[in-house]
């Protein structure tokens, strides 16, 4: 099943694109959609802090138990119970604050909409956590695909709810679709766990030193996940001062840049990477960790640089093709293009940051990624506020890119303490710079011939991939051989 993960994630991302196309078509970029985007960010600060942190540390603990041939059902019970109680308390506090603000600022339509959206989305905090924990149980048993379909389910249910209920409840239809999707995902995970009779049980609160250790180790990761959401919230809050709909534009631009190919790669292989890195560390095979990290990062950087080149040169054609229909007009395209050009430069570094963070997690080191994330976010917030005043939306997007680059660099420098050297891989990447410059010129030439059209986008993509393949194979680069070998291996497994 590991072989179909990239295909599954690709399908998931296509479904996500269709969802965003429909949302953009129905709602466009307005002050109302800005309230929805900020509400999503506020909830994701808490939901992401737990759903994207505890399950990661929990998965590492499960893998260690499996290697040591120890039972894990009590740990599963305790981690689930601890998180449920804690998140119920936090959700209740959020509901109380939102209700109070809604009453206090009843004359502000924006704040009223914002609070309403936060209240409706609050159940997703607990649902997202439970989904993450159950997914980790399956991933520890090498069942990776169930954890990768939550976004697919979300896209399906959101589209259904928007199409059927848009005229009655407007944006609320999106929120209800997200809630139902998480519930369905949890039911599916429980069914798969029970059907395969894994070492699993649920129950009430019990004193557990192991569970407490997992939550303690997850704290830096929680803060790191929250910091990214806070960072996004600040960016969108700053964007509100530029123009109505600007916060929504940032989200649309990010979706087709940082959340496209980088997210596909990281999402598809995150569980696999953590498991394999953790296993190598548990077996004290540090040479294998260094070799795997080097080849994977070199391959990712080269491939995603191609994506960045094609996307940057064909930005307007891509945005027009994806979004321009219905309520998403020419003004929305112009605003989205400005932000997109700032984000797309950071595409290669986004995946590098995420993969290097997972290397640190495999060593049970959550502090290093947190520190690098914190520094990056502080830089981003400062630059966003300053650059937004000077160059608007482009300044906010560029600030994010600089932040990602900074975090990636800090995560890389910290690898020295673990005696991991990537010098050879960095030299290989530097040697590819003339090739990348050549490919930029090729894309510019194709865009000049065909203009900002879908044909130019497709022609640039095919030309870059073929030329890069020919050049790297001629040079016999290790990264290209790795990618080609992995593709052939996956195709063989699927067939």
Q: Which residues contact 441 (CB under 8 A, 6 or more apart)?
A: none
pLDDT for residue 250: 94
Phi, psi angles (nearest 5°) of residue 346: -90, 0
Tokens describing residue 220: 């830096």
pLDDT for residue 424: 80
pTM over 0.75: yes
CA pair distance 293, 310, nearest whole angstrom: 26
Coil, helix or strand at residue 241 = coil
pLDDT for residue 100: 93
Taking CA atoms, 382 is separated from 185, 210, 219, 388, 402, in Å, by: 38, 39, 24, 10, 11
- At residue 448 the predicted structure's pLDDT band, cuts being 50, 70 and 90, is very high
- At residue 217 the predicted structure's pLDDT band, cuts being 50, 70 and 90, is confident
CA pair distance 31, 41, nearest whole angstrom: 15
pLDDT for residue 15: 87
For the chain, give the mean pLDDT.
85
Q: What would the mean pLDDT of 30-46 be, rounded to a whole number?
A: 93
CA pair distance 238, 228, nearest whole angstrom: 15
pLDDT for residue 79: 87
pLDDT for residue 491: 43
Q: What would the mean pLDDT of 425-434 be, rounded to a whole number?
A: 84
Which of the two residues, 423 and 166, has the higher pLDDT score? 166
- At residue 391 the predicted structure's pLDDT band, cuts being 50, 70 and 90, is very high
pLDDT for residue 60: 83
């Amino acid at each position: 099943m590991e072989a179909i993960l990239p295909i599954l994630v690709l399908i998931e991302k296509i479904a996500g694109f269709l969802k965003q196309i429909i949302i953009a078509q129905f709602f466009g970029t307005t002050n109302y959609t800005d309230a929805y985007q900020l509400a999503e960010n506020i909830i994701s600060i808490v939901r992401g802090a737990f759903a994207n942190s505890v399950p990661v540390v929990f998965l590492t603990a499960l893998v260690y138990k499996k290697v040591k041939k120890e039972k894990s059902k009590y740990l599963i019970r305790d981690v689930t119970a601890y998180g449920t109680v804690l998140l119920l308390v936090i959700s209740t506090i959020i509901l109380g604050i939102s209700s109070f603000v809604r009453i206090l600022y009843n004359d502000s339509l924006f704040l009223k909409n914002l609070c309403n959206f936060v209240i409706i989305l609050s159940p997703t905090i607990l649902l997202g956590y439970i989904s993450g924990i159950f997914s980790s149980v399956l991933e520890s048993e090498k069942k990776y695909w169930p954890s990768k379909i939550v976004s697919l389910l979300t896209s399906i249910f959101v589209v259904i709810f928007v199409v059927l209920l848009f005229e009655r409840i407007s944006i609320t239809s999106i929120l209800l679709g997200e809630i139902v999707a998480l519930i369905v995902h949890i039911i599916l995970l429980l069914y798969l766990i029970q059907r395969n009779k894994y070492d699993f049980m649920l129950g009430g609160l019990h004193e557990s030193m192991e569970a407490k250790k997992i939550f303690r180790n997850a704290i830096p990761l929680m803060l790191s996940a929250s910091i990214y959401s806070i960072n996004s919230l600040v960016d969108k809050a700053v964007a509100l001062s530029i123009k109505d709909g600007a916060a929504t534009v940032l989200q649309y631009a990010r979706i087709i840049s940082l959340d496209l190919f980088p997210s596909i790669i990281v999402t598809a292989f995150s569980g696999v990477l953590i498991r394999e890195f953790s296993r190598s560390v548990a077996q004290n095979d540090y040479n294998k960790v260094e070799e795997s990290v080097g080849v994977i990062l070199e391959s990712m950087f080269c491939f995603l640089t191609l994506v960045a080149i094609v996307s940057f040169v064909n930005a307007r054609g891509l945005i027009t093709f994806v979004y321009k229909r219905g309520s998403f007009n020419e003004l929305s395209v112009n605003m989205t293009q400005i932000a997109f050009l700032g984000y797309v430069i950071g595409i290669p570094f986004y995946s590098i940051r995420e993969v290097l963070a997972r290397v640190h997690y495999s060593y049970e080191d959550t502090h290093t990624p947190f520190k690098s994330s914190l520094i990056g976010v502080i830089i981003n917030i400062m630059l966003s506020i300053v650059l937004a005043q000077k160059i608007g939306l482009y300044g906010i997007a560029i600030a994010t890119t600089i932040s990602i680059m900074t975090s990636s660099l800090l995560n890389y420098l910290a690898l020295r303490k673990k005696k991991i050297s990537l010098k050879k891989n960095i030299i290989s990447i530097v040697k590819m710079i003339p090739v990348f410059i050549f490919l930029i010129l090729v894309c510019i030439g194709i865009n000049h011939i065909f203009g900002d059209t879908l044909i130019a986008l497709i022609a640039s993509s095919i030309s870059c991939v073929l030329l890069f393949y020919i050049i790297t194979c001629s040079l016999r680069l290790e990264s290209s051989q790795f990618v080609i070998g992995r593709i052939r291996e996956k195709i063989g497994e699927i067939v």
